[in-house]
Amino acid sequence: MKAPALTEKKIRLLINFLTILFSLFFYSQTSQAETYVGTIKNIPIVMELNIYDGQISGRYFYKKYGVDIPLSGYYDKAKIHLIENEEKRQGIFLFLNKECGFFCPGGYWYDELNSKSLPINLREIDGNSINPNDSYGLDRNSEYTIYDILRQESITFSEKKSAPFTDFSSMELIWMQDKKSKLEFFNLKANQTFTQVQKVNKFLEEEFRRFNLAFYEGASTDILFNPNFARENLLSFSVLGNIFYPGTAHPAYLDNHYTIHIPSARLLSIEDIITLPENQQVAPWLMSQLLQIAPNEMQSQPECNYMDINTWNIDSHSGWYLTNKGLHISPTYPFVLNACGSPEWAVLPLSVIQQNPGLVTIE
């Protein structure tokens, strides 16, 4: 008996079906986040899914709010089941569309307790769809995903009418707040040209967005943007506090420092501020200076290893900051020795800097 001929439509359906099978097999063997945009009913959402060995984890947010809703689940044949809230019996079913292959699922969101369901439509999106000018600086760091970048569209800031006092005679600060997270950062309002201020403020906002992201991921956040020092040509500030993600043993402590050359909006290294004597390296030179300035403090806390030269092998960009007293050295420690970090007495006076000036002078 002669086998029936395959029509063009049947061939196309067969190819699409094989594409689905291949996609399911491929993504069951690898762990790779895929990002989707779409709607639940007519409400815009963004979703990220990780598929590995038959299991699925992920998250999504409503664009209006930007806050993560965790997902976990599995797939079975051509259906994905995602659990959103097991106690409330809420979740998502996605059905793989044979007409377009694996990456255009549609389905519905459900709430069993209230006998409610809403249609879902999703389409995949990749990095080529993101304009670098719309990435809020997150595209420069590989730890951030397309999902993280798209979330930033949901986050806006407003100027605070009352702001913390800062004694900067040469510079006025404008304080901004994210009304959802309640976290704050500052912008410059000074006598520099608009282009200079705009570039520095862009850097300040991008750094704030990186830390502020933790709130939208479900973490408990206590973050302070602290201005330390300001001159016509220099701004030095710190990001302090902690971020505590659910399920982690202890919070991540923040002790990050930045010094910016305002005319170029460039992040400075310690070598930009101080020229070391010939054949000297940063760590031994800093240690020798601090032994002269604070010998008792250097030797009074053996658990902090202040007499270990490796303690002063600081990050060239973020292990120091400027104050009106001088250059504050901020070594980092593991969680159990966190109290040893950023000692108040570890300050090189301005006179020491003036004796060893770098390429950038303190005006």
Q: Which pTM value belongs to this model?
A: 0.83
Per the DSSP assignment, residues forming a β-bridge with 62 are 45
Q: By the 8 A CB rule, do 48 and 145 touch?
A: yes
List Cβ neighbours of 304 (8 Å cut-off, separation of 6 or more). Answer: 311, 333, 337, 340, 343
- 267-288, pLDDT tens digit by residue? 999 999 999 888 889 999 999 9
pLDDT at 237: 96
Q: Which residue numbers in the chain have pLDDT < 50?
A: 1, 10-11, 13-30, 101-102
pLDDT at 138: 73
Which helix (H) or strand (E) segment holds residue 293: the answer is helix 282-293
- Edge-first strand order for the sheet with 320-322 is 320-322, 326-329, 347-349
pLDDT at 193: 66
Q: Where are the beta strands (DSSP E) in 245-346?
A: 252-261, 266-267, 320-322, 326-329
Distance CA 138, CA 148 (A): 8
Residue listed under structure tokens 């933790």: 214
pLDDT at 31: 53
Distances in whole angstroms, Cα of residue 333 to Cα of each of 296, 303, 306, 327: 20, 11, 11, 19
Distances in whole angstroms, Cα of residue 83 to Cα of each of 58, 62, 66, 98, 122: 10, 17, 19, 23, 17
